[in-house]
Chains A and B, each alone.
Chain A
Amino acid sequence: MWNGDYVFVVSNLVQKDFKVRYRNMSLGIFWSLLNPLVTMGVLTFVFTRLFSSQQKNYPIFALCGLIPFNFFSLAWSTGTSSLIDNASIIKRLAVPREVIPIATVLGNCMHLLIQVGLLSAFVIAFGDGLNRHWGWLPLIWTMEVAFVCGLSLVSSAINIYIRDTRYVVESFNAVLFWLVPVVYPFSYIPSRYREIYLFNPIAAVVMALRNILLEGSAPAASLVMKLCLSSSLILALGLVVFRRLKKSFYDYL
C-alpha cells in the first residue's frame, strides 16, 4: 500500500516538468511570452486592419481568448500522453496513478501564470486597470484547471488502451478553438444557442475574463454557476473513470 504524501509527490513531479522544460531553453520564460504575443499581434492586425473590428482594446480582447484556450489545448494534450511518457513510473512504482496526469496539467500552470502576468500587465498599462472584480479571477482560473484535469484523467487513461487517442484529442482541440469566442465576439452566437454554448467551461472562462478585464463588471452569476458546475462535473467524472481504468495499466504498458 502506498500511503505517502500526495502534495509532496505532486509538487516534485511539477518541479520535474518545469526544470526539464526550462533547463534546455536559454531564454527560459521568454518563450512562454513570445507565443501569445505573436498570436495576439497577428489577430489584432487581421481584425482591426483587414476586417476593421469595432472591438475596443482588441489586443486585450484577443489575449482574453488566447490565454485560456492555449493553456487548455497544451495542458490537455500533454496530459493525455502523460501516462505513456511516464511509463517507467507506472511500471515500477506504486504511486497512485492519478498524480501523473494531474501533475502534468499543473506543470503547465507555470506557463499559464506567466501569461496571466502578461495579460494583467496589458490591462494595467493599456486597459482600464485594476477593479474590485479581479477577486473573481482565482476562482475562474481554478475552474479551468479543474476542467482540464478531469478531461486529462479520462483521455490519458484511454490513451493507454488505445494509443491513437491523442490524435483524436488534437483534432478535438482544433474544433474547440471555434467553439470558444477567441477570434469572434460572443454576440455572433445565435441567441438560442447562447445558454448551451456557455456550458463549455473554456467559453465561460473567456466570457468571464472579458467581463472583468474589458468591461470592468462582475461576471453574471449564471455564468459562474455554469462554469463551476460543468468543471466540477468533468473532474468528478474523470476521477471515477480513471479509477475504473487504472487497474490494468500495468498490463497494457
Chain B
Amino acid sequence: MIEFVGVSKLFRHGGGAKLLRSFVQDLWQRRKVGTFYALHDVSFRLDRGESLAIVGRNGAGKSTLLSLVAGLAQPTEGRVMVQGRVAALLDLSSGFHFELTGVENVRLNAALLGMTRKGTAQAFDEILSFADIGDFIHDPVRTYSTGMLMRLAFSVAINVNPDILVVDEVLAVGDQAFHAKCLDKIEQLKRAGRTLMFVSHSSPLVRKVCKRALWLDHGQLIMDGIVDEVLDAYAQQPVPQAPA
C-alpha cells in the first residue's frame, strides 16, 4: 500500500552541494538560492495489487515521485507512507560496478536491494536464466551492451520478489523477445497481488500494463484515473509552452 498525503518536494537550483567558498559568500551577501517544487501538493493512494502508470513531460516530477516511493528522498511537506518491500529499478547502472563480472554484480545488487544471502542463493539460477545472456555473465559488466545490462538489472530487480515494483523508463532498451518476457513476468507479479508503479513514454505499453494512471505536470497532479482516459487527455493537451 502506498499513500501520499499533500506531498511536496522542494529542490534547490544547482543541487545544493557546495564548496566552502560559496557557503561563506552566501552568508556574507545573504544571497537567496532559488528553489523549485519538483512535486507540489500531490495526494493519492495505491492499494495492494494495483498497477499505476505515471505520465507527464520531462521534468514533470515523475522520477521524484518514484524516489519518494522508494524511500530515497524525504518529502519537504506532507506524508509518504509505503508498506512492503520496494524494488526500484530507476536506472540501469545503479548498484552495478563496471569492473565486476555479471555474476558478482548480481550478488551485489541483490544484497543492495535487500535480499538475504540465502534468498540470493535460491533465486540465483532463476536470475541468470531470466537474463539469458549466456557466457557473458562471467565477463566484466563494462563489456556489456546496454541491452544486456538492462536484461541483467531487470532480472535481479524482478526476482527480488518485491511487494512493490517500481520501474522507471528502463524497459525501452530490451529487444522484442525480452520485452514480452518482462511483460509476462509483470503479469505474474500482478496476479500474485504485487503492486506496480511504472513510468514510460510508450503509451501502448502503459495501456497494456497498467489499469490506472497519474498525470503530472510541473510537479502538480493534473489527473488521476483510468489509464485510457488519462492517456487520451494527456495526448490532447495543448502544445506545451516553455515553462515561465
Asked if B82 is at the interface of the complex by the 8 Å CB criterion, the answer is yes
- Chain A hits for B115, CB < 8 A: 4-5, 8
* Bound-complex Cα distance A1 to B113 (A): 10
B70 at the interface (CB under 8 A from A): yes
Chain A interface size, under 10 / 10 to 19 / 20 to 34 / 35 or more:
35 or more
Contact with A along B122-166 (1 / 0, CB 8 A): 000000000000000000000000000000000000000000000
Q: Specify which chain A residues have a CB less than 8 angstroms from the CB of B67 in the assembled complex.
A: 91, 250
* Pairwise interchain contact B73-A251, C-beta atoms closer than 8 A: yes
A170 to B74 alpha-carbon distance, docked (Å) = 32
Main secondary structure of the interface of B (DSSP, over half): loop
Residues on A with beta carbons closer than 8 Å to the beta carbon of B91: 88, 91-92
A13 within 8 Å of B (CB atoms) = yes
Across the interface, A88 reaches (CB within 8 A) one of B70, B94, B117, namely B94
The answer to whether A194 has its CB under 8 Å from any CB of chain B is: no
User: For residue B11, which residues in chain A have a CB less than 8 angstroms away from its CB?
Assistant: 251
Q: Is the CB of B72 within 8 A of A92?
A: yes
A89 x B17 contact (CB < 8 A): no
Asked whether B88 is an interface residue with its Cβ less than 8 Å from the other chain, the reply is: yes
Give A253 to B85 CA distance when docked, in angstroms: 24
**Residues of chain A from 1 to 20 with CB closer than 8 A to chain B in the complex:** 1-5, 7-9, 11-13, 15-16, 19-20
Is residue B116 contacting chain A, with contact meaning CB distance below 8 A? Answer: yes
- B85 contacts A252, CB within 8 Å? no
- 14 A–B pairs (Cβ distance < 8 Å), ordered by A: A2-B71, A3-B114, A4-B114, A7-B117, A11-B111, A12-B111, A15-B108, A19-B100, A88-B95, A91-B72, A92-B91, A94-B86, A95-B112, A251-B12
* Chain B interface residues (CB < 8 Å from chain A): 11-12, 15-20, 23, 67, 70-74, 82-86, 88, 90-91, 93-95, 97, 99-100, 104, 107-108, 111-117, 120
